[in-house]
Chains A and B, each alone.
Chain A
Amino acid sequence: MRREIPLGITIFVGFLAIISFFCPPIEGLGEDFTLFFDIIAVFAFFLGGGNLVRIHASKLIKHKADWAYSIVTLVGFFVMLAVGLFKIGNPGGISASLTAPGSLFSILYMNLHLPLGSTMYALLAFYVASASYRAFRAKNLEATVLLVAAFIILLGSTPFGQMLTFWMPDSLDLLEIPNLAVWIMSSPNLAGQRAIMIGIGLGVVSMSLRLILGIERTYLGEDRG
């Protein structure tokens, strides 16, 4: 029973969701299900938050490596949680938006969360460069194709692309770097994107069918087909 009931639930709601797509009177069901998920996800935050606190508390108590930093995590977590849940320091009180300008919550967001997040994101600029340096090498034919496409697009997004090839006659102007970059984006790139998209569509459909038909049930903690 422990395994049949969840499987039954999956199959039932799966087919219900498919039917709702074709049946106008219940077409809004998908929306409701999305909201259901969001609500369940908030309940799950108790699991997540509890897990986070437990892990860092145990690190702290057992004096594992870097235990001192766990204090930082716990303090940050509880301060932000208290400020947010009780809307401490919010000028508009309970009715104002959580992120109202001037509220303590938004000040913490703007000065802690935002710089940290943006900087982490900006690290990508450096990593993109080091990855290009290390990985774009003409080791074999595929790698060379990858390299050449990237090179042309990169060149095309600078004014130098224009400067290098402006002398091309009109009858050959496809070979001007900016035009070539646009052509690559709109022809081979489009074909590749489309092939992958259709493939992914197929994969998703096939995977969903496997789930709804009860063929794939690893997610229930079961490894038998």
Chain B
Amino acid sequence: MSRASIVVLVLVCVAFAASWVVRAGANEGDAAVRDAFLVTLAAFLTLAIFSFMYRDNPYYKFAEHLFVGVSAAYWMCMGFWSTIVGNLVPRISESLSDFFQVPYSGGGLDFGLFYFSYRYFYLIPIILGILLLMRLVPKAGWISRWPLAFIVGTFAGLNLVRYLQSDFIIQISASFVPLFVDWHGFGHFFSGLSLAANGQFVAMLSNLVVFLGVICGLIYFFFSKEHVGWFGGASRLGIWILMITFGASFGYTVMGRISLLVGRLTFLFGDWLGIIG
């Protein structure tokens, strides 16, 4: 450890302690000391992450490693309580439901002709889960491919039809737009020609842009045809449309990112330092 880093460490510790004491004095109630510690800790972690922007440093490393450990455990606990206790147990066992004090729901699959109780149906994921854990046994590791095959297969099937319906068929039909909006002949069209945002020309222009944009965008994605000649021209128009899309998307997103920073600074200035209301 260099001398400078020791000085920094001491300063950080002093600042932490000072903040704890000052906050504890400002807070009221039974848990004043505890709350002061927690808010100081949260502020310390916030600043530790921000310090990464300057460069990698021990405080960031500390925050990063803490974050990894805590978050891994957090999601494990959430998974256990919400999936196993919340969804699996109520379907398979009445006495376990009572143990965890969740309402037993039972139920099953009703195919009209026969009835398959969840009590047995939901043994399938348990078996698959145990097969997955066979990875830990070196000789039987290959059997863990079964649950993986199950997962990939089911979701390939489900995604296939879902995407076909929602991202595909519906999007195609949404691009069926009339190119002639409010059409009363050429005379009317040219006499009213203007760039007014809600005028006839702009409405028609928008529809044309959408239609051509979709077609050219799709042409850009053609893999098995060389992009030359008119096809190449269309593909070039397609990439421009995509670039406008990405530019717009980027510009729009900046807004949200600033809000997040405002949120953090509000915490630092408000909850921690108490200088804004």
Contacts and interface: CB of A to CB of B under 8 A. Distances in A.
Interface of A: 2, 5-7, 9-18, 21-22, 25-26, 28-30, 32-33, 35-50, 52, 66, 69-70, 72-81, 83-85, 94-95, 98, 105, 107-126, 128, 132, 141-143, 145-154, 156-157, 170-176, 179, 182-202, 204-205, 207-209, 211-212, 219-221
B202 A33 contact: no
B158 A200 contact: no
Given A191-B209, A191-B213, A119 B264 contact: yes
Nearest to A93: B101
B8 interface: no
Interface string B103-121: 0000001111000000001
Q: Which of A5, A112, A170, A204 has the most CB of B within 10 A?
A: A112
Given A45-B79, A189-B248, A5 B125 contact: no
Nearest to B58: A69
Contacts of B216: 195
B142 interface: yes
Nearest to A48: B72
Contact of A220 (B126, B148, B163, B221): B148
B70 A76 contact: yes
Contacts of B70: 76-77, 79-80, 108, 112-113, 116
B46 to A, nearest CB: 5
B261 A84 contact: no
B10 interface: no
Nearest to A74: B69
Contacts of A44: 129, 132
Contacts of A29: 109
Q: Chain B's interface: helix, strand, loop or mixed, by majority?
A: helix
A189 B109 CA distance: 45
Interface of B: 38-39, 41-43, 45-46, 49-50, 52-53, 61-84, 87-88, 100-101, 109-112, 121-122, 124-126, 128-130, 132-133, 135-136, 142, 145-164, 167-168, 171-172, 174-175, 194-197, 199, 202, 205-206, 209-214, 216-218, 220-221, 238-255, 257-258, 260-261, 263-264, 267
Given A36-B124, A37-B155, A69 B130 contact: no
Contacts of B64: 69
B40 to A, nearest CB: 10
A81 B261 contact: no
A98 B73 CA distance: 13
B63 A116 contact: yes
A187 B206 contact: yes
A204 B165 CA distance: 12
Contacts of B73: 49, 76-81, 84
Contacts of A205: 160, 163-164, 168
